[in-house]
């Protein structure tokens, strides 16, 4: 028996695909491993040490959070860049929201509020009315739940930055679109639930306020926010003090120095501060706390301190304005680390509504690890069952053996595909693999029966005609399976998407590569005497 290159090209094609899959699954990631991200991330990804296969949460353990974005938006508005702050101001006062909760973008023609009736208490009608009050006639029906693409991308970037800063490099945040809604899906292998929610749940808006006695009682003034920082050092611990060293940019340094001098923070010997963190800002103001610098995270004062003598004198001399370096002190090293991450990655424009509209999932990594070999055992058992049935039915190893080998090649190529596109395998994919073995063998049975059933195959032409007849059924069945699975591949039903993709790709590999190859193998076997 010879394998002619031209005559049996279908078999050669199968061989090529099996080889390519071997490379995809087993070859160590070389130069083009860029898809998996920077080198330091690789140790954290949920891959396997022997193969390039990636495993999803169900097989590696960790936490997944899916949640929609808080907010509403109106698009297709026309206004100039000058009108932005006016619109924002009107919306803030009409809806009783903070400065960070509204955003007008002249270039995109969009206005959004980062609050809605589910996670907050602004309704679509109220948003429409407020915008009308600002001079833009909009109806309630013009208000869309969800935020703009720009905001979503910003949130995605910040979340990915935070995961990296936190050393959770294997984690990813990505957007998922479902009809009428968009979700953010954050997956962090190996991390537990509270760790992830703490990291992604807050906006992380850092602000430094000055608190000082003014003409009619205590006043506060915002000194700087994230955008004023030129340099952020690593969180440090020194002589029992934990802090994040920061350096302001030039304008902010000047402004900071001016504000300090105007409000008496430059007095000799520094300032005294008796601010108590357990009490609210208002309560503290009534109690004569002295001159304080407050570190505020998401509207909550997390640290308060007076100005040390040497800092006060550098305010006075203007040395600070020249070299605006500063230590944001915190109560613990943990806090310092959190503050640093928040300052580095910037604030989220809007939050994810995990509580009301989200889902979370955590699986213990040690348990998930056990599922990996066990699901291989299950798959192998299914293959054995199929082989046993096929042998019973045909009683001819030369028909049955290639059938099982071909079906196995199909799954192997599918694994190669999964490794090549970095698909993270989950239990639903394993179910998909087993389903593919099932349909694969079904189709091979159709081919074998069609060719063997009506007596001996004497010529190549008879073979061709029978093979083509068999292929009509196979093609039609494959088309139906693909149609039945395609809605799942598009909808965002979580794990079902993976199942559908595996099934569709499996069917395609079967129809285009493995089943024609099996036809050729059979041809060689039945026409051996030709």
397 binds another protein (CB under 8 A): no
441 binds another protein (CB under 8 A): yes
* CB nearer to another protein: pick between 118 and 133: 118
Question: What residues contact residue 250 under an 8 Å CB cut-off, 6+ apart?
Answer: 230, 324
Q: Which of 367, 456, 461, 528 binds another protein (CB under 8 A)?
A: 367
Q: DSSP label at 28? A: P
* CB nearer to another protein: pick between 164 and 429: 429
Gap between the Cα atoms of 69 and 352, Å rounded:
5
Which of the stretches 166-174, 209-217, 245-253, 353-361 binds another protein when contact is defined by CB under 8 A? Answer: 353-361
Minimum CB distance to another protein, residue 373 (Å): 9
Q: Transcribe 163-218 into DSSP letters.
A: HHHTT-TT-EEEEEEETTEEEEEEEEET--HHHHHHHHHS---EEEEEEEEETTEE
* CB nearer to another protein: pick between 92 and 360: 360
Which of the stretches 48-56, 268-276, 278-286, 385-393 binds another protein when contact is defined by CB under 8 A? Answer: 385-393
# of chain residues touching another protein (CB under 8 A): 76
* CB nearer to another protein: pick between 207 and 353: 353
Strands (E), 250-323: 292-297, 300-305
Q: Which of 69, 265, 275, 362 binds another protein (CB under 8 A)?
A: 362
* CB nearer to another protein: pick between 319 and 408: 408
Gap between the Cα atoms of 120 and 355, Å rounded:
12
Mark 460-499 with x for binding to another protein (rule: CB under 8 A) and - for no binding: ---------x--xx--xx-xxx-xxxxxx--xxxxxx--x
Which of the stretches 137-145, 253-261, 431-439, 519-527 binds another protein when contact is defined by CB under 8 A? Answer: 431-439
* CB nearer to another protein: pick between 224 and 488: 488
Q: For residues 306 and 300, is the Cβ–Cβ distance under 8 A?
A: no
Q: Which of 431, 457, 522, 526 binds another protein (CB under 8 A)?
A: 431
Q: Which of 19, 53, 26 is nearest to 429 (CA)?
A: 53
Q: Which of 19, 99, 277, 385 binds another protein (CB under 8 A)?
A: 385
In the range 155-194, which residues lie near another protein by CB under 8 A? 178-179, 181, 193-194
Mark 97-136 with x for binding to another protein (rule: CB under 8 A) and - for no binding: ---------------------x------------------
375 binds another protein (CB under 8 A): yes
Q: For residues 428 and 494, is the Cβ–Cβ distance under 8 A?
A: no
Q: What length is written for the chain?
A: 530
Enclosing H/E stretch for 241: strand 241-248
Q: Which of 322, 374, 421, 458 binds another protein (CB under 8 A)?
A: 374
* CB nearer to another protein: pick between 462 and 493: 493
Dihedral sign of CA atoms 314, 319, 321, 325 in order: negative
* CB nearer to another protein: pick between 133 and 484: 484
Q: For residues 173 and 184, is the Cβ–Cβ distance under 8 A?
A: yes
Question: Residue 234, class by beta-carbon neighbours within 10 Å (0-12 exposed, 13-18 middle, 19+ buried)?
Answer: exposed
Minimum CB distance to another protein, residue 410 (Å): 14
Gap between the Cα atoms of 84 and 78, Å rounded:
11
Q: Which of 4, 272, 393, 396 binds another protein (CB under 8 A)?
A: 393
Q: Which of 334, 438, 459, 465 binds another protein (CB under 8 A)?
A: 438
* CB nearer to another protein: pick between 108 and 496: 496
Q: Which of 3, 29, 125, 384 binds another protein (CB under 8 A)?
A: 384
Which of the stretches 153-161, 199-207, 430-438, 508-516 binds another protein when contact is defined by CB under 8 A? Answer: 430-438
Minimum CB distance to another protein, residue 284 (Å): 30
Q: For residues 320 and 257, is the Cβ–Cβ distance under 8 A?
A: yes
Minimum CB distance to another protein, residue 347 (Å): 24
* CB nearer to another protein: pick between 19 and 118: 118
Phi-psi map region of 360: left, alpha, beta (phi>0 left; psi -120 to 50 alpha)? beta
In the range 26-85, which residues lie near another protein by CB under 8 A? 58, 66
In the range 213-232, which residues lie near another protein by CB under 8 A? none
In the range 231-290, which residues lie near another protein by CB under 8 A? none
**Strand-pair category, 325-330 with 241-248:** antiparallel
Q: DSSP label at 514? A: I
Gap between the Cα atoms of 256 and 530, Å rounded:
94
Q: Which of 4, 41, 355 is nearest to 168 (CA)?
A: 41
Minimum CB distance to another protein, residue 158 (Å): 23
For residue 264, give the 3-state DSSP assignment: coil
Minimum CB distance to another protein, residue 357 (Å): 5
Which of the stretches 34-42, 97-105, 235-243, 437-445 binds another protein when contact is defined by CB under 8 A? Answer: 437-445
Q: Transcribe 383-445 into DSSP letters.
A: HHHHHHHHHHHH--HHHHHHHHHHHHHHHHHHHHHHHHTT-EE-HHHHHHHHHHHHHHHHHHH
For residue 77, give the 3-state DSSP assignment: coil
- The token duo for 423 is 């698909």
* CB nearer to another protein: pick between 1 and 367: 367
The half-sphere exposure of 440 on its side-chain side, counting CA atoms within 13 A, is 38
390 binds another protein (CB under 8 A): yes
Minimum CB distance to another protein, residue 467 (Å): 14
Q: For residues 425 and 53, is the Cβ–Cβ distance under 8 A?
A: yes
- The token duo for 304 is 């308060």
For residue 493, give the 3-state DSSP assignment: coil
Minimum CB distance to another protein, residue 199 (Å): 16
């Amino acid at each position: 028996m010879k394998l002619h290159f031209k005559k049996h090209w279908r078999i050669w094609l199968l061989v090529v695909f099996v080889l390519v899959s071997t490379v995809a699954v087993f070859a160590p990631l070389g130069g083009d491993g860029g898809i998996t991200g920077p080198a330091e991330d690789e140790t954290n990804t949920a891959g396997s040490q022997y193969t390039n296969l990636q495993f999803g949460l169900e097989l590696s353990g960790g936490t997944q959070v899916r949640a929609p974005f808080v907010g509403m938006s109106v698009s297709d508005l026309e206004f100039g860049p000058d009108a932005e702050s006016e619109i924002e101001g009107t919306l803030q006062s009409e809806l009783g929201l903070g400065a960070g909760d509204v955003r007008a973008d002249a270039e995109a023609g969009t206005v959004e509020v980062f609050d809605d009736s589910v996670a907050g208490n602004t309704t679509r009608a109220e948003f429409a009315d407020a915008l009308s009050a600002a001079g833009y006639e909009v109806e309630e029906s013009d208000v869309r739940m969800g935020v703009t693409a720009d905001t979503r991308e910003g949130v995605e970037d910040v979340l990915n930055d935070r995961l990296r800063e936190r050393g959770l490099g294997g984690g990813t945040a990505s957007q998922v679109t479902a009809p009428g809604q968009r979700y953010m899906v954050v997956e962090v292998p190996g991390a537990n639930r509270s760790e992830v929610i703490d990291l992604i749940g807050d906006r992380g808006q850092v602000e430094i306020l000055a608190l000082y006695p003014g003409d009619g009682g205590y006043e506060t003034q915002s000194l700087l926010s994230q955008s004023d920082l030129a340099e952020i050092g690593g969180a440090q611990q020194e002589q029992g003090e934990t802090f994040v060293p920061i350096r302001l940019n030039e304008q902010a340094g000047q402004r900071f120095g001016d504000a300090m001098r105007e409000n008496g923070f430059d007095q000799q010997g520094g300032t005294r501060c008796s601010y108590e963190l357990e009490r609210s800002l208002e309560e503290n103001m009534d109690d004569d706390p002295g001159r304080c610098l407050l570190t505020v995270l998401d509207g909550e004062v997390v640290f308060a301190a007076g100005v040390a003598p040497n800092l006060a004198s550098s305010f006075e001399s203007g040395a600070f304005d020249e070299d605006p370096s500063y230590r944001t002190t915190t109560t613990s090293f943990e806090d310092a680390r959190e503050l640093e991450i928040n300052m580095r990655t910037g604030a989220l424009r809007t939050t994810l509504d995990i509580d009301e509209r989200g889902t979370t999932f955590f699986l213990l990594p040690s348990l998930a690890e056990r599922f990996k070999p066990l699901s291989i055992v299950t798959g192998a058992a299914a293959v054995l069952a199929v082989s046993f049935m096929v042998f019973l039915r045909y009683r001819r190893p030369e028909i049955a053996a290639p059938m099982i080998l071909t079906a196995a090649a199909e799954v192997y190529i599918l694994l190669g595909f999964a490794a090549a596109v970095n698909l993270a395998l989950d239990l639903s994919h394993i179910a998909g693999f087993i389903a593919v073995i099932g349909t694969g063998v079904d189709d091979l049975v159709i081919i074998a029966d069609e060719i063997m059933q009506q007596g001996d195959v004497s010529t190549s032409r008879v073979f061709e005609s029978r093979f083509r007849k068999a292929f009509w059924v196979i093609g039609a069945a494959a088309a139906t399976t693909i149609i039945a699975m395609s809605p799942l591949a598009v909808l965002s039903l979580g794990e079902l998407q993976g199942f559908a993709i595996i099934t569709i790709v499996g069917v395609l590999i079967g129809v285009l590569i493995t089943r024609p190859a099996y036809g050729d193998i059979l041809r060689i076997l039945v026409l051996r005497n030709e």
